[in-house]
Amino acid sequence: MSSRHGRREGIDYDAIPAALAASAVEPGDAEFARVRSTYLRGGSPGLILRPGTPAEVGQAVRYARTQPVKLGIRSGGHGISGRSTNNGGIVIDVSRLNAIEILDKETRRVRVGPGARWSDVAAALAPHGWALSSGDYGGVGVGGLATSGGIGWFAREHGLTIDHLRAVDLVTADGSQVHADERENAELFWGVRGAGANFGIVTSFEFEVDEVGDVGFAQFVMDASDTAGFLERWGAAMESAPRDVTASVIIGGPRPGQPLIAQILAVVDSDDADTIVSRLRPISETAPLLDYSIQVRPYESIMHVPPATHQAQGDPVTRSALADHLTPALSAAAGELIASGLTYFFQVRAVGGAVSDVAPDATAYANRSANFSLVAFGPGRRALDAAWDGLLPHFNGTYLNFETDLRPERLHEAYPGTTLTRLRELKRRYDPDNVFRDNFNIAPSG
């Protein structure tokens, strides 16, 4: 039921396709408060379309492209770089496309809708003894993560989420349904794995998943007062660790009179206590240990997150980068940034290993040499940008999923050399009118 008072200029509400009208939400509807914002971003769209089939997604795209307002695409609503809400525009929300199907037990093929969350995927795969490395938080949606990378708990052992992708179905800018895999529309399939948001709305992903049993899950609380030394030692420990261990470090802002605290989270793909302890010991020795817990538990329990309504306000301010090594110079510069208070949440995730086995030109995620993904959240755009820009010489590209700086250099860092040229060619072919531009837009014109 709509009051119609909140209708926004520029949107022709009478032209909404009949099949979409019943599930559409507009300002004034009772449901609006639940769907206007995302996990990290406040918004007030003029219309949220919620197609329930790929054909309806096609209708939504054909309608939305005729409306002279912003267009956001939403799956799980956890976008950082992706503006999956907006002010006065249209959002196509594909969260209803959330089915998870086992296609073939022999080859461990599964088909997943973009609206599933990674906690749902982990729960559906667990009874088969399978898992798919995705990210560190189960509330994140499949659509945004699986079109851009996916740095998860088995990254060093099994690679990125996009490295497990075998086929996609998507709706392109003219509203048509297109299949892409290594044989059919192979160039599009290449581009979807790293820059998918620019080419359409993926309506299903076909993955080959891995065999995974119970795993070791560790949380260490460290005194990171010697921040530079700690980061350097942790980086070295990760680079020399066997691939069955993947870990991340989170450091909050400094607090007066208290030591700087770091939290290490680590997953060891083993259920053997001796193996788990031997993998974790070098990591735990990188700084004075204040507290820890180590458990053997199902991967799905690490990913479990109850569904929640998103009610964020404002816009996240982040910077992101990839680095080959946590060198003494990078570690010292990161230590200074953290001490300055310009970031309240600084995280380094381990990558490398199997991620680096994939050739840089095999997918649109080209920065394959990096052993680390870094992200900083800050209270202020200008101050964080100024500080982070000073760190750029230490980096080797970026992972756009954690980036909110819209200056054009970021595209070149994420898609180095010929990668961006190839992506622009694809954009001209599949989206010449630049319909999909809510997430690090690769403009057809350059």
Ligand X SMILES: Cc1cc2nc3c(=O)[nH]c(=O)nc-3n(C[C@H](O)[C@H](O)[C@H](O)COP(=O)(O)OP(=O)(O)OC[C@H]3O[C@@H](n4cnc5c(N)ncnc54)[C@H](O)[C@@H]3O)c2cc1C
Residue 65 as a binder of ligand X (CB under 6 A): the answer is no
CB atoms within 10 A of CB 373: 25
- Could you identify the residue written with the tokens 């329990």? 301
Residue 204 as a binder of ligand X (CB under 6 A): the answer is no
Amino acid at 367: N
Q: Is 314 left (phi over 0), alpha (psi -120 to 50) or beta?
A: left
Q: In 3-state terms, what secondary structure has residue 71? A: strand
Q: Which residues pair with 267 in a beta bridge?
A: 217, 246
- Looking at beta carbons only, is 77 or 235 nearer to ligand X? 77
Site size toward ligand X (CB under 6 A) is 37
Residue 36 as a binder of ligand X (CB under 6 A): the answer is no
Query: Are the beta carbons of 196 and 234 closer than 8 angstroms?
Result: no
Query: Are the beta carbons of 440 and 81 closer than 8 angstroms?
Result: yes
Give dist(CA 31, CA 392) in Å, integer. Answer: 43
Amino acid at 246: T
Residue 224 as a binder of ligand X (CB under 6 A): the answer is no
Q: Given the rule CB under 6 A, which of 46-54, 196-204, 388-396, 427-435 is the region that contacts ligand X?
A: 196-204
Minimum CB separation from ligand X for residue 57, in Å? Answer: 9
- Looking at beta carbons only, is 149 or 235 nearer to ligand X? 149
Residue 35 as a binder of ligand X (CB under 6 A): the answer is no
The distance between the two most distant Cα atoms of the chain, rounded to a whole number of Å, is 65
Q: In 3-state terms, what secondary structure has residue 198? A: helix
- Looking at beta carbons only, is 74 or 325 nearer to ligand X? 74
Q: In 3-state terms, what secondary structure has residue 302? A: helix
Residue 39 as a binder of ligand X (CB under 6 A): the answer is yes
Q: Given the rule CB under 6 A, which of 74-82, 121-129, 231-239, 362-370 is the region that contacts ligand X?
A: 74-82
Q: What are phi and psi of 188, to 5 degrees?
A: -65, -40
Q: Given the rule CB under 6 A, which of 47-55, 120-128, 149-157, 336-344 is the region that contacts ligand X?
A: 149-157
Among 196, 216, 352, 397, binds ligand X (CB under 6 A): 196
Query: Are the beta carbons of 74 and 91 closer than 8 angstroms?
Result: yes
Among 343, 401, 404, 419, binds ligand X (CB under 6 A): 401
Residue 38 as a binder of ligand X (CB under 6 A): the answer is yes
Could you tell me the strand order of the sheet in which 372-377 lies? 289-297, 215-223, 261-268, 245-252, 345-350, 372-377, 318-323
- Angle at which helix 186-195 crosses helix 418-430, to 10 degrees, equals 110
Minimum CB separation from ligand X for residue 3, in Å? Answer: 27
Residue 430 as a binder of ligand X (CB under 6 A): the answer is no
**Which one, of 76, 62, 71, lies nearest residue 112 by Cα?**
76
Tell which positions 81-100 bind ligand X, by CB under 6 A: 82-84, 94
What is the x/- site pattern for ligand X, positions 97-136, by CB under 6 A?
-----------------x--------------------xx
Give dist(CA 151, CA 133) in Å, integer. Answer: 7
- Looking at beta carbons only, is 49 or 228 nearer to ligand X? 49
Q: Given the rule CB under 6 A, which of 15-23, 148-156, 208-216, 387-395 is the region that contacts ligand X?
A: 148-156
What are the residues binding ligand X (CB under 6 A)? 38-40, 72-80, 82-84, 94, 114, 135-137, 140-141, 143-145, 147, 149-152, 196-197, 201-202, 401, 438-439
